[in-house]
Structure 1
Amino acid sequence: MPGTTTPATELTSQYAAQVSGDLERNVKERERITAEIASLQEQLTALQHDHAVLLSMRQALGITEAPAEPAAPSSESAAVPAPRRKAGTARSGKQKAQKSPATQGSPAAKKPAAKTAGATAAQPTLVELIRDHLAASKEPRSAAEISAALGAAHPGRQIITKVVRGTLEGLVAKSQAERTRQGKSVFYTAPAPESASASESGTQQSEDSGH
């Protein structure tokens, strides 16, 4: 009997020592993990605080939120290939795309452009407008009066007084208009019939000599 008790006592002591060691390691591991959790909790709290501050700063700066990135396609959707178009359908689409520019060059498409070009070509020049206005005017006219009259008669054209004055001075230099001064104002009239005929003959002679 005493021999049987001694091995049992030794075995109990071994188990007790092992359990004590395991319990001590468990306590230490629990303390370590608890400390890590506390540290991570502090980091999480700091990150949440920084996140709130950054959100308020972005709102104050008026920065719009960037769109979220699309989720990665699943393996099932990636495995399904896109349906292929038939060759006939692709060719018909190309033919339609090639025909569409050609329709722009059709006679029906060119009619408005032709009308616009004809209307632009039919418009008289500024020199002709000023000549006709001076010929129809019985009294001397200033450059401002001529500009106002031409602008009212041709609302679609941009009549600038400075340009009209320069054109009038050019006509005076060619003896195709006459200039009179009344105080500080300058007025223009159509040339006398003799002056006009002499100017036209002089212009014709200069053109003949040039040839």
Structure 2
Amino acid sequence: MPETTAPTTELTSQYVAQVTGDLERNVKEQERLSAEIASLREQLAAVQHDHTVLVNVQQALGVTEAPVQPAPEAESAAVPSPRQKTGAARGRKKAGKSTGAPKKATPKKPVAKSAEAAKAAQPTLVELIRRHLVGLEEPRSAAEISAALGQAHPERQFADKVVRVTLEGLVAKSQAERTKQGRSVFYTAPKPADASAAEEQPAVEH
């Protein structure tokens, strides 16, 4: 009996050592993967934040996203057209060309017009900032203007960087004034003298 028990105990000890080693490697692999997932989540959050900032900058510059969206619609619309012409067009030519593809193309036009009308109905960021500057009694920073616009229009997003870039553009066009107090920068509407001079120019042209 002792001769048979000795090899079994050696085998079990080998299995135990192998299993413990595999478990340690498994735990280390889980820790490595969890660390990679956490870093990837942080990178994804940063990229998503940059995306929202870029979209706001694009809206501030007056650039629409219309050229990006029609691409999948054009591909989807191009697929069924040859199928209809190859199989069913022969029978339709004999019966008449009254029931054809033009009826399917008509409902797309009002949808595009309604989307463009909805975008045009919303005031641009430049218009909102101009109105806000006119109503100010004291200079305000870009962060304060962004917060005020967010409270007035909760359905839209206003990033401080985008508002600051838009304000600098208005200053370059003499449609806003910038003042510095230490390291802080504040913005106000142009003085009434500048506004009256701007109004007199179209009157002279008439």
Structure 2 length normalisation: TM-score? 0.44
Larger RCO: Structure 1 or Structure 2 (Cα < 8 Å, ≥ 6 residues apart)? 2
Structure 1 length normalisation: TM-score? 0.43
